[in-house]
Amino acid sequence: MFLCAAERFRNLLKAQGVLLTFRHNFEIFFIGQFFNFVLPGGVGGDAVKAFYIHKDVGELAETSPYTVLFDRLIGFFVLSSMAVLVVIFHWSQFQMRPQLRALSYIVICEFSLLTSIMATGYFRRSREMLLHLAPKKFNHLHKFTSKIVKSFEFYAANPKYVLRGLAWGICMQTFSVLALAAVGAAVHIETVPLSAYFFIGPLGFMLASLPISPGGIGVGQAGFYFFFNAYLGHRSSLGPIAITVVQIITLAWSMIGLYFYFARRGGIAKPLTASPQSPKNLSV
């Protein structure tokens, strides 16, 4: 799961011409992963990754720190796609109970929104419209929007790296859901079909990513408790127990990032990076 997520991030950087070595990217990714459990939310480490990207190659690629936003966007898109597919194949089941029906509509709306955002970034005219929404008189907002639009230009000009990142994202999220299912099967609390995990897991992981608590601890437990109860139709401790075990295992692996963090502070030399290229085919 971690290796797939790291490769997803590296391919999105490649789209901007930032060619990190596997080790360099591995270090930055795991440092961010560790800080996910230190800073609020499952995305707290994204800010740390953006800092190190800016520190290492920021002078060469001013938009590269924003890669963390698109990395997260693809992650959410894959998760929502998984949940939507389960809803489509089990539509009649989801229409039988009000809670499941409401959740299915929320998932469909979320998937539609994320698809629209990605489509907006791909087409030149929609990118220009996005830029006009933040006039220059709002300096900070205009500057931020300009960097986002410029980042979109890189991705529109290099779709193969985006598709590779999407493929790695599918692998990563599949492993995360399977990990949750493996824990759920091991605790022997409820018998839940695998398809349920591919619906509940994405919803719970997205909720746990909200910047409320370090690593989504507490938020994830509440979210999985609600989603499992809504799916099963009765109260169950399966959700909180399963996500707690997954979080403990994730934290254990994330400690690799603590080593890399202190190694960097100790002055260990980092691998060289290639100079970013300019985006091509910006008329896409």
- What pLDDT sits at residue 282? 44
pLDDT digits (tens, 9 = 90+) for 126-171: 877 777 777 777 777 777 788 788 888 888 888 899 999 999 999 9
Residue 272 maps to a domain: no
pLDDT digits (tens, 9 = 90+) for 109-121: 999 999 998 888 8
Among candidate residues 85, 35, 26, 41, the one with its CA nearest the CA of residue 216: 41
For residues 215-230, give the mean pLDDT: 89
Give the range of the structural domain holding residue 228, as residue numbers without chain letter: 2-265
pLDDT digits (tens, 9 = 90+) for 223-240: 999 999 999 888 999 999
Residue 131 maps to a domain: yes
For residues 70-92, give the mean pLDDT: 92
What is the token pair recorded at 177? 């859901």
- What pLDDT sits at residue 81? 95
Total domain count for the chain?
1
- Three-state SS string over the chain comes to CHHHHHHHHHHHHHHCCCECCHHHHHHHHHHHHHHCCCCCECCHHHHHHHHHHHHHHCCCCCCHHHHHHHHHHHHHHHHHHHHHHHHHHCHHHHCCCHHHHHHHHHHHHHHHHHHHHHHHHHCHHHHHHHHHCCCCCCHHHHHHHHHHHHHHHHHHHCHHHHHHHHHHHHHHHHHHHHHHHHHHHHHCCCCCCHHHHHHHHHHHHHHHCCCCCECCCCHHHHHHHHHHHHHHCCCCCHHHHHHHHHHHHHHHHHHHHHHHHHHHHCCCCCCCCECCCCCCCCCC
For residues 200-207, give the mean pLDDT: 92
pLDDT digits (tens, 9 = 90+) for 28-72: 999 989 988 887 655 667 888 888 887 887 655 666 667 888 888
Give percent of the chain with pLDDT exceeding 70: 88
pLDDT digits (tens, 9 = 90+) for 260-272: 998 887 654 454 4
For residues 162-190, give the mean pLDDT: 93
pTM: 0.85
Tell me how far apart the alpha carbons of residues 162 and 108 are, in angstroms, rounded to a whole number. 23
Residue 281 maps to a domain: no
Residue 164 maps to a domain: yes
- What pLDDT sits at residue 229? 92
Name the residue with higher pLDDT: 78 or 150: 78
Residue 230 maps to a domain: yes
Residue 280 maps to a domain: no
Residue 50 maps to a domain: yes
- What pLDDT sits at residue 170? 96
- What pLDDT sits at residue 62? 60
